[in-house]
Amino acid sequence: MARLFSPRPPPSEDLFYETYYSLSQQYPLLLLLLVIVLVGLLALLAVAWASGRELASDPGFLTTMLCGLGGFSLLLGLASREQRLQRWTRPLSGLVWAALLALGHGFLFTGGVVSAWDQVSFFLFVIFTVYAMLPLGMRDAAAAGLASSLSHLLVLGLYLGPQPDSQPALLPQLAANAVLFLCGNVAGAYHKALMERALRATFREALSSLHSRRRLDTEKKHQEHLLLSILPAYLAREMKAEIMARLQAGQGSRPESTNNFHSLYVKRHQGVSVLYADIVGFTRLASECSPKELVLMLNELFGKFDQIAKEHECMRIKILGDCYYCVSGLPLSLPDHAINCVRMGLDMCRAIRKLRAATGVDINMRVGVHSGSVLCGVIGLQKWQYDVWSHDVTLANHMEASGVPGRVHITGATLALLAGAYAVEDAAMEHGDPYLRELGEPTYLVIDPRAEEEDEKGTAGGLLSSLEGPKMRPSLLMTRYLESWGAAKPFAHLSHVESPVSTSTPLPEKALSSFSPHWSLDRSRTPRGLDDELDTGDAKFFQVIEQLNSQKQWKQSEDFNPLTLYFREKEMEKEYRLSALPAFKYYAACTFLVFFSNFIIQMLVTNRPPALTITYSITFLLFFLLLFVCFSEHLTKCVLKGPKMLHWLPTLSVLVATRPGLRVALGTATILLVFSMAITSLVFLPAASNCPFWAPNVSSTASNLSWELPGSLPLISVPYSMHCCVLGFLSCSLFLHMSFELKLLLLLLWLAACCSLFLHSHAWLSDCLIARLYLGTLDSRPGVLKEPKLMGAISFFIFFFTLLVLARQNEYYCRLDFLWKKKLRQEQEETETMENLTRLLLENVLPAHVAPQFIGQNRRNEDLYHQSYECVCVLFASVPDFKEFYSESSINHEGLECLRLLNEIIADFDELLSKPKFSGVEKIKTICSTYMAATGLNATSGQDAQQDAEQSCSHLGTMVEFAVALGSKLDIINKHSFNNFRLRVGLNHGPVVAGVIGAQKPQYDIWGNTVNVASRMESTGVLGKIQVTEETACALQSLGYTCYSRGIIKVKGKGQLCTYFLNTDLTRTGPPSATLG
């Protein structure tokens, strides 16, 4: 309970909450309170008129009623404008309270004899509504409630104290009044504390949901950017749907399919042009670069090429080392795709010429272009890279390889599409390329119209090198010059959506100024904790406030039925009704307080007959049993120390909190107990109309002797029984989460019972009390305000409607709280799924150990990622037979079915990566039917150099086993596809540089002599064999593998090399073999 009444946080933290609170919850309640008071005043006038009283004969009553109607109508007019209420919340609330208090005191001294029980129910109404319906803070409400209580007690005490006729019964009555008011204050404060706690939680959950939506939107943008950095939009949507299905089915699993094939995301496009470009002389230059220089150089060069591609409507497909290729006419067809590619090729050559002229570095650009049709898409399961396949792609590749540095080499098909846009000259060369020689078609070199202009202008050859001095390395000269190009960093386009929140962005001043014009927009008052959630602009903030407004409960909603407030989804309604309610024990405890107050009141105003005492004793026992059940979990330590047979007792509290049926039964029983005990004293009053004060000969002296009926209770217990009944109404409101229909049923039941008792069966008791007050003169009638049964009935109806309004309000906010919690959970789950999807996508572009460099919250993309390694094993595994297998005909859908088989091969290879023993293998890329992977990339930079060779290169064994597993996979595919494909594998190990390059399509890659030699080991290898260099053979032998010499072979770019074949028939043999001798 202490938490419920804990002091509120500092005002700065409540700035936005109080705005929401006053508008959404208290504003309609204040209006309803004023309406209820006005209707009550009109009802009093109607009852006075209907009972035959002459209103003109009681000017005090009439004046009080007219002043009340006028005053509260004026207050209703003032409060009917939200902006006015928002500006003058506390003053207006104070005026309403003061008006209620003045009305109550007016009622006290109007209409007849003043008694100690007069207007106790009205003041109880004032006290409770100050807490429950006025937009006041807890301290202000408590001050107003206590002031109302004390004003009634002091006024009556001072007025009635000197009167001897009232003196004997005055003190017990004032004590009973004090108990009533104390109970009203506690019940009101309890109701306010619980509602504020629930409303604050709902408000925070709503803002958390807003924050969660922002995160969700951010993650969706991440995914879109990431997918579009890998794939075209049309393919991204299709593949995203499959990833979502995989995430829902379980990490890494594939959704069930109607066939045994992996999904193939490849389509055929006709009317495209393919450009291949290679930087001549780059390999020698790269060998002189530091890792940072190499990655920077590549990123700047290819970033520049990406810019040129964008200008000419070309799509970069892939970067292979220092080779760059792109396509024009994808994904949308373009009529001038051939011109686009030629222009791009010329601009690339021009950029390299400028680079050479500025730095004096001897590099050049060789470009080949061919036009035709392609199959484009993605194959495999991991490290997706959009790629193109077809004979026309192969031809474009050979056009580049056989081209002339600094020129664009095109085929006849491309020339036909240029339609004279560029002058060309015959290539006039005997093709050394067997592929082109076999085709026998003429090829052409495009004449750059601006090349002659550039030659005439001349260039400051080696300008930068002359300025920097002759001693500067060419690679450093290139790096300095390329930095001036300012290419974007990889994933730079994600930086503006990286952080889902901004800790420095305040709530829009426009939102605050329009929302709460009377507050100063001092930024120091802005709660730092809410900045993160509320900096989303006016629209979203007001949307959340609007969704929380209690007035929406009467409007059409997607979630609620406006009449019953039931959720439209039956499952959600069922979940709400079955939800746990840990606060039920506090409801029961506060109801016990009401019961205990009734007990004290009846002990004060009755002569405490034994039967009444016995009845209360039994009820006390039942209440203590109920409270023990509700709070049994707090007795766990004590119970566990006792006999084992009692160890089950603490579970009772959990059962009550989690079983809705049990809660409803206990809550109903508790309220019915309070109801029954509120009217128990009436049982001990005679039912027959036998009032001794009606006799005409009763004298004033005789009547002063006693206030009791002969052999019964004092008459003053009658109005206090009515007050106890009012407390019975309040007990219903204490069960905040009790369903509205059950509260309505109980309140109706109690209203009917009270009215039938005091207006019918026991109405004579009120008449007898009036007779006692007015000395038995039957023709002397008090005003309607002084007649207990009439004022009691009016009080019952006022409390009935007031508590019904609060019950509806509570029901709405309980359901709204449940709804926001559910939405928040769903959004958090969706956000988590999206975050996982983003992580999977990023890890599909980058290795797992590199991805955090780009998804960290503090990542600014200021530095290029690069890393050097001393010992990395690089594998190239190809299926050379696939080139012969591939064909394009109508039977195989122009090569699509051939690619379906290649997709199966690559996908099966990728599935091996998910095995724990191959967790250290990192797939780099696929190049047609060649699979490239590496091990040793997840080691910390530089640590290999500090370890001995055997330990630092132990991952070579993993790569060998992976190569063997690839062969086994291919054998299985051969068996099912009736093919005879064989694997050709090349391995090499040594130092490499790893990095991420490319802003448009970021790509992780590795470079270095180790990679080049590994590629040559594969291309010069033998089918079914794993070829390795001599150094790698020695390292593998130290790990227990057997290698045998192949001999000296000629390797392009490396000269004569002695290579070895790995004996894959054996696993690790233990002692090293002597076959390397």
Residues acting as catalytic residues: 1016, 1052
Q: Of 137, 135, 202, 181, give the one whose Cα is nearest residue 7.
A: 137
Rounded CA separation 58/50 (Å): 15
Q: Which residues pair with 1055 in a beta bridge?
A: 1051
Instruction: Pull the structure tokens for residue 914.
Output: 């998910």
> What count of other Cβ atoms lies within 10 Å of the Cβ of residue 936?
24
Distances, alpha carbon 835 to alpha carbons 48, 247, 822, in Å: 70, 11, 20
> What count of other Cβ atoms lies within 10 Å of the Cβ of residue 476?
16
Cβ atoms of 460 and 357 closer than 8 Å = yes
Rounded CA separation 757/745 (Å): 18
Sequence-distant (≥ 6) Cβ neighbours of residue 304 within 8 angstroms: 351, 482, 485, 487
Q: Of 1067, 931, 917, give the one whose Cα is nearest residue 986.
A: 931
Instruction: Pull the structure tokens for residue 424.
Output: 């060309």
Q: What angle do CA 163, 169, 174 make, to 5 degrees?
A: 90
Taking only Cα atoms into account, the Rg of the chain, rounded to an integer number of angstroms, comes to 45
Sequence-distant (≥ 6) Cβ neighbours of residue 914 within 8 angstroms: 252
Rounded CA separation 485/489 (Å): 12
Alpha-helical regions (H) of 312-336: none
Rounded CA separation 592/667 (Å): 11
Sequence-distant (≥ 6) Cβ neighbours of residue 1037 within 8 angstroms: 1043, 1072, 1073, 1076
Instruction: Pull the structure tokens for residue 64.
Output: 């009080």
Sequence-distant (≥ 6) Cβ neighbours of residue 26 within 8 angstroms: 133, 134, 135
Tokens 């597993």 -> residue: 965
Cβ atoms of 736 and 194 closer than 8 Å = yes
Rounded CA separation 723/175 (Å): 14
Rounded CA separation 362/341 (Å): 25
Rounded CA separation 956/977 (Å): 31
Single-letter code of the amino acid located at 629: V
Q: Of 464, 317, 288, give the one whose Cα is nearest residue 386.
A: 317
What's the full length of the chain, in residues? 1077
Q: Which residues pair with 408 in a beta bridge?
A: 367, 446
Torsion-angle region of 102 (φ positive above 0: left; ψ -120 to 50: alpha; else: beta): alpha
Tell me the DSSP string of 816-851. HHHHHHHHHHHHHHHHHHHHHHHHHHHHHHS-TTTT
Rounded CA separation 303/1044 (Å): 45
The helix/strand count (H/E) of the chain reads as 40, 16
Rounded CA separation 6/8 (Å): 6
For the chain, the 3-state helix, strand and coil shares in percent, each to the nearest 5, are 60, 10, 30
Instruction: Give the burial class of 108: count Cβ atoms within 10 A of its Cβ; 0-12 exposed, 13-18 middle, 19 or more buried.
Output: buried
Sequence-distant (≥ 6) Cβ neighbours of residue 569 within 8 angstroms: none
Rounded CA separation 396/372 (Å): 10
Rounded CA separation 207/605 (Å): 52
